[in-house]
Structure 1
Amino acid sequence: MSKATKRKHVVKEVLEDCVIPTEDQHIMRVLGSNGNNLHEAVTGSGERFLVSMPTKFRKNIWIKRGDFVIVDPIKEGGKVKGEISFILYRDHIQSLRKVGVWPEGFQEDCASSERNGEKPKERSERKTEEEEEGDSDSEDDDSDLFVNTNRATVLYSESEEETDEEDDSNGDKEEEDDGEGREQ
């Protein structure tokens, strides 16, 4: 099987299938990547350990901090105690919550991960309402621009007013000196 065909099947499996975890599988939240296809994850009860990403997902499916996964335990594992068997997306999480399989420890995490509780339709309705209000500042609004979270945020304060006042006060003194010199 070629790499492109393999990638197509893996992506289709992840995006379309909905898997319910078995008794020995765990739903976990990814805390971060430790490199070498190892990820630190936490269970709903708060237990933390390393999980590995299987070969079929490597370079095909990407996970990041905060994503949810289904993990198969590795009984003989020392540091690595599990292997990722399925990556959960928003639709999968909603179906698992409907079935009642979702862990209690992740109830508040799931609510916050749905982007402040708004669905895309609600966001678009809110945007159209704001446009109807007719704010002329909408051209200057940068809230929809991409923000690079990898860079530190630097806030610049304008201190031009202070320097202008100082320049004006110095100029006034010079004029006064000139005026006194003329009178003498």
Structure 2
Amino acid sequence: MSKTTKKKHVAREVLEEFVLPEGDQQIVRVVASRGGNLHEVETADGDRFLASMPTKFRKNIWIKRGDHVIVEPIEEGDKVRAEIQFVLYRDQVKYIIEEGAWPEAFEVLGLTNKQRDQNGHKTETKADPLTSNNNEATAAETDEDEDSDNDDDLFVNTNRPVMEMYTDTEDSSDEEEEEEYRQEDGEAIDE
């Protein structure tokens, strides 16, 4: 199998397969990258250890701090105690939450309380006097937010500066058109 074909199959496997942790596997959060394809991960209990990235993912899939992965424990290492089996993306996380296999300790950003309540995960919210008056308005806003397309999960290249374009063509073109109109009508322009 060529490298390109391998990359294609690995990417398809990571993005399209929806898996649940089986047996000794557990869901962990990546805390830091330690180099040499080792990542420091944290379990739902707060236990931290190193997990290795298998060769099939190396140079094909990138993991950043805060991502969630499914790991399987290995017995031969003292410091490296697990191997990454699956990298979880937004859709896979939603699937695991729907199945009820998501650890309660991990806060999932991007899911509203309404979605969690529908999935059987109750969240406690503190009463806030500022928001209690606007409950109807906030409910309408959350409905609109769920319907709109959210681009927050798109990749942002941090290696390039953000270029904001500002053009003031409307004001200058209106003034230029007035001057041309005056000259065509034969009006004298004071110089």
TM-score by length of 1: 0.62
Q: Distance in 2 between matches of 1:67 and 1:99?
A: 19
Kindly state the Cα deviation for residue 39 of structure 1 after the two structures are TM-superposed: 0.2
Kindly state the Cα deviation for residue 23 of structure 1 after the two structures are TM-superposed: 2.4
1:73–1:114 Cα change, 3 Å: same
1:88–1:147 Cα change, 3 Å: closer
Q: Distance in 2 between matches of 1:20 and 1:55?
A: 22
Q: Distance in 1 between matches of 2:98 and 2:55?
A: 31
Percent identical: 55
Counterpart position of 2:7: 7
Is 1:40 paired with 2:43? no
State the one-letter code of the partner of 2:85: S
Counterpart position of 2:81: 81
Kindly state the Cα deviation for residue 121 of structure 1 after the two structures are TM-superposed: 1.6
Q: Which one has the bigger helix percentage?
A: 1
Residues 22-101 of structure 1 mapped to structure 2, 5 A cutoff: 22-101=22-101
- Provide the aligned C-alpha RMSD in A: 2.8
1:98–1:5 Cα change, 3 Å: same
1:7–1:83 Cα change, 3 Å: same
Give unmatched runs, 5+ long, in structure 2.
113-141, 160-191
TM-score by length of 2: 0.60
> Displaced runs of 4+ in structure 1, greater than 4 A?
117-120, 146-149
